[in-house]
Every structure is written in C-alpha cells, then in structure tokens.
Structure 1
Amino acid sequence: MPYNLFTSFARLPLIFRILIISLIFIFTFGWIVHIIEPDQFPTLFEGVWWAIVTAATVGYGDYAPKTVGGRLAGIALIMVGAGFLASYFVTLAAIAVTKQNDLLKGRNVFKGKKHIIVIGWNERSREILQTLGNHNKDQSFTLIDETLRLNPLPNMNVHFIQGCSNLDHVLIKANVFDASKVIITADPNKGERQADMGSILTLLTVKGLNPNVQCIVEILTSEQVANAKRAGADEIVQTNILTSFVMINSISSHELVTSLLDLLNQLDKRKLTFKPATSEITNMTFLELSQLLIKDSVLLLGIKRGEETLLNPPHPFKIIPQDQLIVIK
C-alpha cells in the first residue's frame, strides 16, 4: 500500500508534488507550534496562518513564537518549507511561460467552436485573416502551416497550429470537427501541379474527418478542378484564371483593368454578398427587382440558381424561391 501511494504520488505533475509537500510542511509546523505554544497560538488556524506567512517570508508579525522550541520550529520551517513554497511559485511561473511559448509555436490544441480554419501561410491567407478579423472581432480563426515557426498574427484572434495539414492529428488539434469553414490555399513554395495535389490531399483529409464542414479550396491548374470537386470541395477558387483574365484585358484596355481593380478594392470591404430570395420578391422579374433594390442603394448584379450563376440575366427573367441574389450593399 505505501509503495502504491508513493508510485501514484511520483506520477503526479511536478507542480502538484511541490504544492502537496509545501502544504504538508505548512500544516505540520502549524500544528507543532500550536502544541508547543498554546497560549500564543490558541487554535490550529493561527498556527497554520503563522506557518504560511513564515514560509512565504512575508512575516506580518501578528503571530510569533516566544519560546525556544517555537522559534526553532520557525527556523526549521524557513529552512525547509520556504524552499518548497518558492519552488512552487517558480514552477508555476515556468509553466505559464511554457504555455505561452507553446501557444506562439503552434503546439497547443484549439478548443473553440464555430471557427474558420485557414490552411497555408501566404499573402492570400494573410489578407483573409486580417480582413475577416477586422470585420468580425468575435470570429475565431485557426491557421495551419508547417513552414512557420511562430504565430505570424499573435495580436489577432488567430490560433496557430504548426504542422502538415494533411495529417489527422494536426487537423484534430485545430478542432476540425467543430469548425464552420475550412479555407485551403495553394502552397507558394511548390509547383502548380504539386500545390494542387497537396491541396486536394488536404481536402480529402478534412472531409474524411468532418464531411459536413464547408471547404473553400484554391486550385491553380484547370485540370485539377474536377478532382477537387470529387474530393468534396464546396467552393473552388481558380486564382490563375482570374489573374490571366486581368492580364489579357490589360493588353487591350488598360483603363478597363484599372477600373476593375478599383472595383475589387472597394469590394474588399465585404460589400458583395448573397441575399436569399424572400416570398415578397418571388415571381418578380430581374428588372423589377433591380429597380426596387436600387431605391435602398443596393445594386443587384445577378442570380445564383443552384450551381449556375447568372449575371444580369435577360428580360423577362423571373425570381424563384430557391434563388440567391448577388448584391452590392
């Protein structure tokens, strides 16, 4: 029995072992001084109080031993108990520093819910985190990257996880089970095909752990779009197509591209949104609805119907209940 008790004690974390030893010394010496000097320490509580302030080297002086035996007990408590109590506070401070370092280095598990997981660190992910974080201070984010050594945004509500995003234990540390969305960006350190393969592998891992989470994936090569859809991507962003469109049009019309970029910069304020079609606007034509919304300073760009997106559909195009309105507020 004593061996089992000692074994259980030895398995406790260091901070708990030091705390238990300190408490044993405090209560023991508090009881001893109460026995030696019952007039000076009439109750056990006064003895324990004296032992605490003595071991902590505070020394209020409200209770002090008068006899030689009581003072010898005080000397022994300072020599032994104060060391353990100081060790406890030093260990507590070391644990706090270690926890902070682990948080910065991406070693801690994220325990929140309804967060957005961003995979990969690059200029796109930086812009995503900063823009979304500035618009919604209460939204939590988790950044997963294997190249970073420290959290690049420690002053924002971003929890960093250091590791490879296609490994189960890394995604579990990011609490992928309770995430609201996962954004997978292309790795800028790899070739386009290798980056797409890595993104799709990460997508398969995410969907394997949480099939219901919404996944937005950046794909660089058009031939991998079909594979991304098969892997379960809810939204696919083809950044190379967007870049090519801008560069091609800049050759023929520089002014048009400048205007387009200015428009995109304005939309960076998240003014472009989806609005569900309500029963009041069902069966209205696109033209009638556009004129109605413009009175409220809302510009109707198009309609998302199922998988199809229709920009400025021809008249008479009628709104149905399943439509999503693409508007600029």
Structure 2
Amino acid sequence: MVQQVFHQFLRWPLLVRIFLIAISLMTVFGILIHYVEPDTFPSYFDGIWWAVITMSTVGYGDFVPATTEGRLFGVLLILVGAGFLSTYFITLATNTVMSQNAYIEGKATFKGKDHVVIIGWNERAREIINQLNSLHFRGDIILIDETLQQNPYRNHHIHFIKGEPFKDKVLEKASMHEASIALITADQNRNEIEADMHSILTLLAVKGNHPNVYTVVEILQKDQVLNAERAGADEVIQTNLQSSYVMINSIISKGMSKAILKLLNHLKGNHLQLVPVTEDCLNQTFQSLSERLLEHNIILLGIKKGEETLVNPPLTTTADSSDELLVITN
C-alpha cells in the first residue's frame, strides 16, 4: 500500500512534489520544536511559524531556540528545508519562463472554445488579424503556421501554434473541436497547384476534427473550387478570380479599385452583408424593398435565392422567406 502511494506520488508534477515536501518539513519541524521547547514555543502555530521563517532563511528573531536540541533542530531545518524551498522557487521560475517561451514559440496548447482559427501566415492573414483587432474583436484568435519561428503578436487574445495544419496533433493543440470558424489561406511558398492541394488537405483534416465548424478556404485555381466544396468547405474564396474582377472593372472604369476597397472596408463603417428577409418584407418587390431600406440608410444590392445571388435583379423580383438580402449598411 505504501509503495503504491509512493509510486503514485512520483507521477505528480515536480513542482507539486517539492511544494508538498517543503510544507511537510515545515509542519513536522514546527510541531517537534513545540515539544522540545514548550516554553519558547507555547503553541503549534508558533512552532510552524518559526519553521517557515527559518526554512526561508528570513530570520525575524521573534522566536529563537534556547536549548542545544532546539538549535540543532534549527540547523537541520536550514540544511534540509532551505534546499527544498529554494528548489521550489527555482522550479517555479523555470516553469514560468518555459511556459512563456512555449507560448511565444507556438508550442503551448490552447484551451478554449468558440475561437477563430486562421491557418497560414501571409499578408492576408496579417491584415485580417489587424482588422479584427481594430474592430475590437473580443474572441480568441488562433494562428497556425509551420514557417513562423515565434508569435508575431504579443496580444494575449492571439495564440500561435507552430506546426503543419493537416496533422491532428497540431489541430488538437488549437482546440479545433471547439472552434467556431476556421479560415484556411493559400500557402504563399508553394505554386498554385500545390497551394490548393495543401489547402484542401488541411480542410479535410479540419473537418475530420470538427465536422460542424464553419470553414472558409482560399483557392487560387478555379478548377479546384469544386474539390474544396467536395471536401466540405462552407465558403470558398477565389482570390485570383476576385482580383481579376477588380482589375477588369478598373480597366472599364478607372479608379474602381479604390471605390471597391472603400466599399468593403469595415474600418470605415461600411458593411457588405447578407441579412434574412423579415416577415414585413415578404413578397415585396425589389423596388419597394430598396425604397424602404433607403429610409434607414441601407442600400439594397441584390437578393440571394438559395445558391444563386441576383445582383441588381429586375425591379419586380419578390423576396421569399428563405431568401437573404445583399445590402450595404453602416
């Protein structure tokens, strides 16, 4: 029985074991000195207080052993106990430094839920995190990347995990099974085909860990969009296609790129979003809805019907209960 308890004790963390040994020594020596010199140490608490002060080598001098036996107890307590107590504080400081380094180097496990996971470090990821911070986003952001050497942010809301994002042990460190949104960006260090393959492989790993997490995947090649959707992507961002649309609009109408950026810039208060159709808007035409929303400083751009989004549809188009309105609002 004793041997089993001892082996169980050895499995405890080192810091806990040293602390319990130090506390035990203080308690035992405090009780013993009370029996050795009851006049000098009239209570158990006085003896334990003396043991704590002596073991920590503070030495207030309010309790001093008067007999040779008591002084020998004091010497023994300093020789044995001070070493354990010093070891405890050294181990505590070491663990603190190691934990801080693990956090900076991306080795620490995140424990939380309903967080946003951003996979891949590039200029797009940097801008997303910066804008979330500017919008005073209150949730936790987990950044997963295998090329970074340390966390690029010192904000305690941004947790860095170093590793390959398609491996389960890395996703477990990010608590992917508790995440609310996962954003997978294209790897800038690979060509377009390899980057898309890497993104789809990562998507499969993410969905395998948390099938219900909302996933947004950046795909560079148009041919790989269908594969991303087959892998379970809830939303696919076609970076090259969207950039080409902006460019062609700039060719047709000079300066359009700045106008589009201003339109989409949330920091300026402009929000492009989909809103559900309320009961009072059912079966109303696009024209009547547009006039109604303009009274509230909301611009109606189109109506999303299922998978199809109608931008600037015929004025007689009506809104159903399952539709969503594409609007610009501040």
Find the aligned partners of 1:236 and 1:270 in 2 and give their Cα distance.
22
Distance change in 2, residues 1:159/1:257 (3 Å): closer
Find the aligned partners of 2:99 and 2:120 in 1 and give their Cα distance.
24
Find the aligned partners of 2:270 and 2:238 in 1 and give their Cα distance.
20
User: In the alignment, residue 134 of structure 1 is paired with which amino acid?
Assistant: S
Identify which range, 88-97 or 73-82, moves more after superposition. Answer: 73-82
Q: Is the 8 A contact 2:119 2:183 kept in 1?
A: yes
Distance change in 2, residues 1:120/1:224 (3 Å): same
In the TM superposition, residue 287 of structure 1 has moved relative to its aligned partner by: 0.9
Residue in 1 aligned with 2:238? 238
Residue in 1 aligned with 2:113? 113
Aligned residue runs from structure 1 range 168-187, under 5 A: 168-187=168-187
Identify which range, 37-46 or 130-139, moves more after superposition. Answer: 130-139
Residue in 1 aligned with 2:96? 96
- Summarize deviations over 1:42-63 as a string: whole Å, max 9, x none: 2222111110111112223332
SS across alignment from 2:215: strand
Residue in 2 aligned with 1:274? 274
List runs of 5+ in structure 1 lacking aligned partners. none
Residue in 2 aligned with 1:228? 228
In the TM superposition, residue 78 of structure 1 has moved relative to its aligned partner by: 1.6
Aligned residue runs from structure 1 range 1-329, under 5 A: 1-155=1-155, 157-265=157-265, 269=269, 271-329=271-329
Distance change in 2, residues 1:140/1:224 (3 Å): same
SS across alignment from 1:109: coil
List runs of 5+ in structure 2 lacking aligned partners. none
SS across alignment from 1:125: helix
User: In the alignment, residue 274 of structure 1 is paired with which amino acid?
Assistant: L
Q: TM-score with structure 2 length normalisation?
A: 0.94
- Summarize deviations over 1:8-37 as a string: whole Å, max 9, x none: 333332212222221232122212211111
Find the aligned partners of 1:15 and 1:256 in 2 and give their Cα distance.
62
Find the aligned partners of 1:268 and 1:246 in 2 and give their Cα distance.
20
User: In the alignment, residue 327 of structure 1 is paired with which amino acid?
Assistant: V
Find the aligned partners of 1:117 and 1:257 in 2 and give their Cα distance.
29
Identify which range, 209-218 or 181-190, moves more after superposition. Answer: 209-218
User: In the alignment, residue 253 of structure 1 is paired with which amino acid?
Assistant: S
Q: Is the 8 A contact 2:135 2:267 kept in 1?
A: no
SS across alignment from 1:254: coil
Q: Root-mean-square deviation (CA), in Å? A: 1.8
SS across alignment from 1:309: strand
- Large movers: runs of 4+ above 6 Å: none
Q: Is the 8 A contact 2:142 2:159 kept in 1?
A: yes
SS across alignment from 1:280: helix
In the TM superposition, residue 291 of structure 1 has moved relative to its aligned partner by: 0.8
- Summarize deviations over 1:213-253 as a string: whole Å, max 9, x none: 11100000001011111111110100101222223333443
Q: Is the 8 A contact 2:30 2:47 kept in 1?
A: yes
Find the aligned partners of 1:123 and 1:298 in 2 and give their Cα distance.
31
Q: How many residues align?
A: 329
SS across alignment from 1:297: coil
Distance change in 2, residues 1:249/1:279 (3 Å): closer
Distance change in 2, residues 1:248/1:315 (3 Å): closer
